[in-house]
Structure 1
Amino acid sequence: MTNSGRHFLQIPGPSNVPDSVLHAISMPTIDHRGPDFKELFSHVLTGMADIFGTANQVVIYPATGTGAWEAALVNTLNSGDEILCCETGHFSSLWKAMAEKWGLKPTMITGDWRTGADPEKIREALEADSDHRFKAICVVHNETSTGVTSRIPEIRKAIDETGHPALLLVDTISSLGSVDYRHDEWGVDVTVSGSQKGLMLPPGLSFNAISDKALAAHQQSTLPKSVWNWTEMLESGKNGMTPYTPSTNILYGLKESLRILNEEGLDNVFARHIRFGKATRAAVEAWGLEVLCTNENEHSPVLTAVVMPEGHDADELRAIILEKFNMSLGAGLSKLKGRVFRIGHLGDLSDLTLAGTLAGVQMGLQLSGVKVDPGGLDAALDILKHK
């Protein structure tokens, strides 16, 4: 049976793309060595520096966030370097695995996938590293697999108090443009991000924001790099150009998404996402279910991971909701497979869209035989109707 109405894409990214962004992407392709492109690229470079909160030039790659992960590593480190990683979920584990492929030696601070990177454990690891073997610390700001947001300012404070010189590398792939983030103010050395979440674009662009300290490390880095080389990207970017073919049409979309974010105002964007997170958690708790994140100070504003009761499979629930209500929810990843489902509430999202999403989840839970309090939706609406 064909469902009427639009599909509800409520995964935690790729997120919904606004119509005006889609229209911008459909502009005729231009000469990426001509003056129109120079104007476009210079505009989005400036706009992205504002989004990151940095005075330095940002690098924009025609790649997904995985490429920007790799760029952060190969531009700052050397083969055999030891790094400190923080296990907060599926994606922090993947970043560690990538580092191993590059001949780096990561030490993982283990976690329970229900809390963020622990500033005190990072402090302890650095205090024990009197020889300064760790050259970098890798942290995922918003762990998309768990709905947990790590406290980057507290982590920076812990690093500073130890006097350790390690670089701080932070993944904001699912938080940038939706959650308050300040690259310069928080003392981050490399921030990694991608286009398909809070920036409301299709996958295809990724970013590095770079501190002066990271640039100095880049000058000493001997890991192989060609596509990801900051030197070539930054030199070209100064002139509004790229060293190789860019994702021209998605850059048109980026210009429009930056306009949308700035028109709403970033503070308003962040507040809206916080409110959506509160409304979603209110529904989950009223249903009598459990939010995966257990730390009140680390709940993600962009997604909520929900633990299924014993005897129920999250993927079966997702299949029912897709079939009956034409809505996609995020799956549990790796060791959370079948145990959680994830509700995305980020990007181009309104109060009514979220209300419809939660109504679909509530109906799906009831159809799948999960006993829930039907007052869950009302609990969310009580928050949504008071802006």
Structure 2
Amino acid sequence: MAGRNHLYVPGPTNVPDSVLSAMHVPMEDHRAPDFPKLVKPLLEDLKKIFRTETGQAFIFQATGTAGWEVAMCNTLSPGDKVLSYRFGQFSHLWIQSARRMGLDVEYHEVPWGEGVPLDHLEQRLRQDANHEIKALLICHNETATGVTNDLKAIRDVLDRTGHPALFMIDGVSSIGSIEFRMDDWGIDVALTGSQKGMMLPAGNAYVCFSQKALEKRHEARLPRNFLNIEDQIQANKDGYFPYTPSTPMLHGLRKAIDLMLEEGLDNVYARHHRLAEGVRRAVLDGWGLELCARDPKWYSDTVSAIVVPEGFDARDVMKVAYYRYNLSLGGGLSEVAGKVFRIGHLGDVNELMLASAIVGAEMAMRDVGIDVKPGSGITAAMEYWRDTAPPLEA
């Protein structure tokens, strides 16, 4: 098929040409005496993406899934109780990972399309008078349903109840795209992957620990080897890694961080919100369809999960979009399989890029018989984007 594939899944995301170019380097000696000139500033600047001055960031040759394990195995011991909420596929998988590691997992079901119920959380923490709950595991942005949790509000619950549980965050589809403030919100461990807001290929997990969480490594008794932060701490202080890193990924990360810091993180967040709102206008106002997220307070600025009308299968929309229009849309996972398709709007995106996702999705929906008015989605989106466009520079 002529032209390029239009990739609008919520990860992996599009990699900027400048990042691809930065990664196109010869192999190099990761034990060379000048290698720390790359590594030390990189680890310090990675902290800026997490918005922390007091935490410590780590780079693992792994994915976000391994980040869950990094968070838990370096801070907890077998049988420790952790609290979580299941409201989508990735919160489900983190719960599953914690169980497999030998933790005592207490989780509560939440309708898919909603987030953490703050009243229930506060009640449960107040009941835990003996502080048996050692960690709270929360997905900031549930990629499967397009739901974002209010981390500051959750932190406020922890503070009001005086509960000392570690506050652990899966930020795989939020960090680098949605407002995230590790120090301000008292987050103890945060993790993300390279392939989403960080605008890189999959293959790296970035994990950041608060000082409180770092101290837990001395008493944690869960088995750990490759994912042991102690090995990282000892090697990183001199600008090296305890094993062979992917040097092209390090150079790509250097460029990706430079792009984000040059744009300004607050501007990155604002761009994502504005672009996401245009997509939501297309879905709600243009097509007259519903989002999986049940209330605007849950709406995600990195992914929209679009509910297809009763009697249709979202997988048919995705298949037509891919084979007929060379457009990759995200699928529904687990409980929402066949019920939703997803448009990812994170990372290296702008209005015209997302316009192709909206137009392609609209054509595919019409092709499978879904009754949406031709041009309705892109009209709603573009009018919003035009009305909110920044002024032209003189």
Aligned partner of 1:26 in structure 2 is 24
Aligned partner of 2:380 in structure 1 is 379
How many corresponding residue pairs?
A: 385
Structure 2 residues not aligned, in runs of 5+: 390-394
For 1:298 and 1:277, the matched residues in 2 are separated by 13
For 1:184 and 1:191, the matched residues in 2 are separated by 11
For 2:185 and 2:282, the matched residues in 1 are separated by 33
Shift of the alpha carbon at 1:372?
Answer: 1.1
Instruction: Output the TM-score relative to the length of structure 2.
Output: 0.96
What secondary structure, in the 3-state scheme, does the structure 2 residue paired with 1:169 have? strand
Aligned partner of 1:42 in structure 2 is 40
Shift of the alpha carbon at 1:36?
Answer: 3.4
Does 2:209 correspond to 1:218? Answer: no
Aligned partner of 1:249 in structure 2 is 248
Equivalent positions of 1:202-281 (< 5 A) are: 202-281=201-280
Aligned partner of 2:305 in structure 1 is 305
Aligned partner of 1:154 in structure 2 is 153
- Mean Cα deviation higher: 143-152 or 260-269: 260-269
Shift of the alpha carbon at 1:114?
Answer: 0.5
Shift of the alpha carbon at 1:25?
Answer: 1.1
For 1:369 and 1:246, the matched residues in 2 are separated by 49
Aligned partner of 2:392 in structure 1 is none
The residue identity in structure 2 corresponding to 1:226 is N
Does 2:359 correspond to 1:363? Answer: no
Equivalent positions of 1:13-162 (< 5 A) are: 13-55=11-53, 56-162=55-161
Aligned partner of 1:333 in structure 2 is 333
Does the 8 Å contact 1:288/1:373 carry over to 2? no
Aligned residues with identical type, % of pairs: 43
For 1:127 and 1:318, the matched residues in 2 are separated by 45
What are the superposed Cα offsets for residues 354-378 of structure 1, whole Å, 9 maximum, x if unpaired?
1111011111111110011332220
Runs of 4+ in structure 1 deviating by more than 3 angstroms, as ranges, are none
For 2:366 and 2:277, the matched residues in 1 are separated by 22
For 2:367 and 2:317, the matched residues in 1 are separated by 9
The residue identity in structure 1 corresponding to 2:281 is A
The residue identity in structure 2 corresponding to 1:366 is R
Does the 8 Å contact 1:69/1:192 carry over to 2? yes
The residue identity in structure 1 corresponding to 2:349 is L
For 2:248 and 2:304, the matched residues in 1 are separated by 32
Does the 8 Å contact 1:307/1:341 carry over to 2? yes
The residue identity in structure 1 corresponding to 2:383 is D
Structure 1 residues not aligned, in runs of 5+: none
What secondary structure, in the 3-state scheme, does the structure 2 residue paired with 1:222 have? coil
For 1:184 and 1:226, the matched residues in 2 are separated by 28
What secondary structure, in the 3-state scheme, does the structure 1 residue paired with 2:217 have? helix
The residue identity in structure 2 corresponding to 1:308 is V
Shift of the alpha carbon at 1:295?
Answer: 2.0
What secondary structure, in the 3-state scheme, does the structure 1 residue paired with 2:84 have? strand
What secondary structure, in the 3-state scheme, does the structure 2 residue paired with 1:209 have? strand
Shift of the alpha carbon at 1:280?
Answer: 0.6
What secondary structure, in the 3-state scheme, does the structure 1 residue paired with 2:197 have? coil
The residue identity in structure 2 corresponding to 1:77 is L
Instruction: Output the TM-score relative to the length of structure 1.
Output: 0.98
The residue identity in structure 2 corresponding to 1:235 is Q
Does the 8 Å contact 1:146/1:292 carry over to 2? yes
Aligned partner of 2:7 in structure 1 is 9
For 1:89 and 1:80, the matched residues in 2 are separated by 25
For 1:319 and 1:257, the matched residues in 2 are separated by 32
For 1:335 and 1:108, the matched residues in 2 are separated by 17
Shift of the alpha carbon at 1:230?
Answer: 1.3
Shift of the alpha carbon at 1:133?
Answer: 1.1
Q: CA RMSD in A?
A: 1.0
